[in-house]
A and B are shown apart, each in its own frame.
Chain A
Amino acid sequence: MGRLKRLRVNMIKCDGFGYCAELLPERIDVDSWGYPMVSQKPLTRDLLEHARRAVLVCPVGALRFDEVDR
Chain B
Amino acid sequence: MTLAGGARLLSGPPLDQGAEPLAAHRARLGPRPRGGLGLIETLKASGLNGRGGAGFPAWRKWALVAERAVGRAIVVVNAAEGEPASHKDQTLLRHRPHLVLDGAQLAAETVGASHVIIYLSRTCDGQRRALEHALHERRIAGDDAVRPSVVTCPHRYVAGEASALVNGINTGVAKPMAVPPRAFERGVDGRPTLVQNAETIAHAALIARFGAAWFRSVGTAASPGTALISVCGAVVCPGVYEISLGVTLDHAIGCADGMSEAPQAVLLGGYFGTWLPADRIGTLHLEQAELDAAGASFGCGVIVVLPRSRCGLVEAASVLTYLAAESAGQCGPCVFGLKSVASTMTRIADGDGHSADRALLRRWSTEIAGRGECRLPDGAVRHLQSAMTTFAADLERHLDGARCAVAGRQAPMLPIASGADEWVA
Contact = CB atoms under 8 A, between A and B. Distances in A.
B330 A31 contact: no
A14 B364 CA distance: 19
B188 to A, nearest CB: 20
A57 interface: no
A11 B331 contact: yes
A19 to B, nearest CB: 15
B373 interface: yes
A31 B391 CA distance: 27
A16 B330 CA distance: 12
B331 A12 contact: yes
Interface stretch (B26-34, B144-152, B237-245, B333-341): B333-341
Contact of B330 (A11, A32, A37): A11
A33 B332 contact: yes
Interface in B174-189: 176-178
Q: Which residue, B176, B333, B336, B364, has most C-beta atoms of chain A within 10 A?
A: B333
Nearest to B336: A33
A34 B340 CA distance: 13
Nearest to B371: A11
A11 to B, nearest CB: 4
A32 B336 CA distance: 9
A14 B178 contact: no
Given A31-B337, A32-B363, A16 B332 contact: yes
A15 interface: yes
A11 B340 contact: no
A12 B330 contact: yes
B340 A35 contact: no
A10 interface: yes
A33 B334 CA distance: 10
Q: Which residue, B178, B337, B364, has most C-beta atoms of chain A within 10 A?
A: B178
B154 to A, nearest CB: 18
B372 interface: yes
Nearest to B335: A33
Interface bin, chain A: 10 to 19
B193 to A, nearest CB: 20
Given A11-B371, A37-B367, A37-B371, A31 B177 contact: no
Interface in A13-70: 13-16, 31-35, 37
A33 B177 contact: no
A35 B367 CA distance: 10
B364 A11 contact: no
A47 B367 CA distance: 24
Q: Which residue, A11, A32, A37, has most C-beta atoms of chain B within 10 A?
A: A11
A11 B178 contact: yes
B374 to A, nearest CB: 9
Nearest to A40: B370
Contacts of A35: 332-333, 336, 371
Q: Which 8 A-B pairs have the closest CB atoms?
A: A11-B331, A33-B336, A35-B332, A31-B367, A12-B330, A10-B178, A16-B332, A12-B373
Interface of A: 10-16, 31-35, 37
Interface of B: 176-178, 330-334, 336-337, 340, 363-364, 367, 371-373
19 contacts: A10-B178, A10-B373, A11-B330, A11-B331, A11-B332, A11-B333, A11-B371, A12-B331, A12-B373, A13-B178, A31-B371, A32-B336, A32-B364, A32-B367, A33-B340, A35-B332, A35-B333, A35-B371, A37-B371
